[in-house]
Amino acid sequence: MDIKNNEEELLSQCFDSLFPICRSITGPGLEQSIALFKEYMPLQIEKIPTGTQVFDWEVPPEWHFKRARLWGPNGEVVCDTNESNLHVVNYSEPVNRSIELEELQKHLHSIPSLPEAIPYVTSYYNRSWGFCLPHKQRQELQPGTYKVEIDSSFFHEGGVPFAHCTIVGESSREILLTSYLCHPSLANNELSGPLVLLGLHNRIQQWSKRRFSYRFLLNPETIGSLCFLSKYYRHLQSNLEAGLILTCVGGPESNLKYKSSRMANSLFDSYVSYLADHNPTIWKALPFNPLGGSDERQYCSPGFNLPMGQISRTTYGQYDGYHNSLDTKEFMDIKQLIKTIDQLEAFLLDAEIAGKPLNLSPYGEPQLGKRGLYPNVNSPNNWRNSSDRMHDDRKVLNAILTILNLADGEHSILEIANLLDLPLDDLRPIIEKLESENLIRFNSEQNV
Predicted confidence at residue 278, as pLDDT, reads 85
Of 278, 274, 280, the C-alpha closest to 260 is 274
386 has a pLDDT exceeding 90: no
**What is the C-alpha to C-alpha distance for residues 361 and 222, in angstroms, rounded to an integer?**
48
Of 42, 92, 87, the C-alpha closest to 69 is 87
- Name the band, by pLDDT with cuts 50, 70 and 90, for residue 3: low
Quote the longest CA-to-CA distance of the chain.
97
Predicted confidence at residue 4, as pLDDT, reads 55
- Identify residue 124 by its one-letter amino acid code: Y
384 has a pLDDT exceeding 50: no
Predicted confidence at residue 375, as pLDDT, reads 66
**What is the C-alpha to C-alpha distance for residues 69 and 72, in angstroms, rounded to an integer?**
10
**What is the C-alpha to C-alpha distance for residues 438 and 153, in angstroms, rounded to an integer?**
62
- Name the band, by pLDDT with cuts 50, 70 and 90, for residue 309: very high
- Mean pLDDT of all residues belonging to the chain: 93
Domains and CATH numbers, the chain: 7-60+158-352 (3.40.630.10), 64-155 (3.50.30.90), 357-442 (no CATH)
Predicted confidence at residue 448, as pLDDT, reads 40
The percent of residues above 70 in pLDDT, for the chain, comes to 94
- Identify residue 223 by its one-letter amino acid code: I
DSSP 3-state assignment of 217? strand
**What is the C-alpha to C-alpha distance for residues 268 and 266, in angstroms, rounded to an integer?**
5
Strands (E), 110-239: 131-132, 145-155, 159-167, 174-180, 213-219
> Which of 164-168, 237-241, 424-428 comes out lowest in average pLDDT?
424-428
With beta carbons less than 8 A apart as the criterion, state whether 31 and 161 touch.
Answer: yes
**What is the C-alpha to C-alpha distance for residues 67 and 65, in angstroms, rounded to an integer?**
6
- Name the band, by pLDDT with cuts 50, 70 and 90, for residue 444: low
**What is the C-alpha to C-alpha distance for residues 438 and 317, in angstroms, rounded to an integer?**
50
Q: What is the pLDDT of residues 214-245, one digit of tens each?
A: 999 999 999 999 999 999 999 999 999 999 99
316 has a pLDDT exceeding 70: yes
According to DSSP, residue 106 is labeled: G
Predicted confidence at residue 395, as pLDDT, reads 86
According to DSSP, residue 408 is labeled: B
446 has a pLDDT exceeding 50: no
With beta carbons less than 8 A apart as the criterion, state whether 247 and 296 touch.
Answer: no
Predicted confidence at residue 346, as pLDDT, reads 96
**What is the C-alpha to C-alpha distance for residues 288 and 309, in angstroms, rounded to an integer?**
8
Highest mean pLDDT among 342-346, 370-374, 376-380: 342-346
- Name the band, by pLDDT with cuts 50, 70 and 90, for residue 443: low
Q: What is the pLDDT of residues 93-143, one digit of tens each?
A: 999 999 999 999 999 999 999 999 999 999 999 999 999 999 999 999 999
With beta carbons less than 8 A apart as the criterion, state whether 128 and 152 touch.
Answer: no
With beta carbons less than 8 A apart as the criterion, state whether 79 and 134 touch.
Answer: no
Count of C-beta atoms within a 10 Å radius of residue 287? 9
Apex 309 CA angle, 304 and 312, nearest 5: 140
177 has a pLDDT exceeding 80: yes
With beta carbons less than 8 A apart as the criterion, state whether 203 and 344 touch.
Answer: no
Predicted confidence at residue 364, as pLDDT, reads 94
Whether the pTM exceeds 0.85: the reply is yes
Question: Among the residues of 26-143, which ranges form H helices?
Answer: 28-38, 101-104, 135-139
With beta carbons less than 8 A apart as the criterion, state whether 47 and 220 touch.
Answer: no
**What is the C-alpha to C-alpha distance for residues 247 and 218, in angstroms, rounded to an integer?**
12
What's the Cα-to-Cα distance from 87 to each of 70, 92, 119, 140, 181, rounded to whole Å?
Answer: 9, 11, 8, 17, 19
What's the Cα-to-Cα distance from 382 to each of 14, 366, 379, 395, 400, rounded to whole Å?
Answer: 56, 21, 5, 14, 17
Q: What is the pLDDT of residues 47-106, one digit of tens each?
A: 999 999 999 999 999 999 999 999 999 999 999 999 999 999 999 999 999 999 999 999
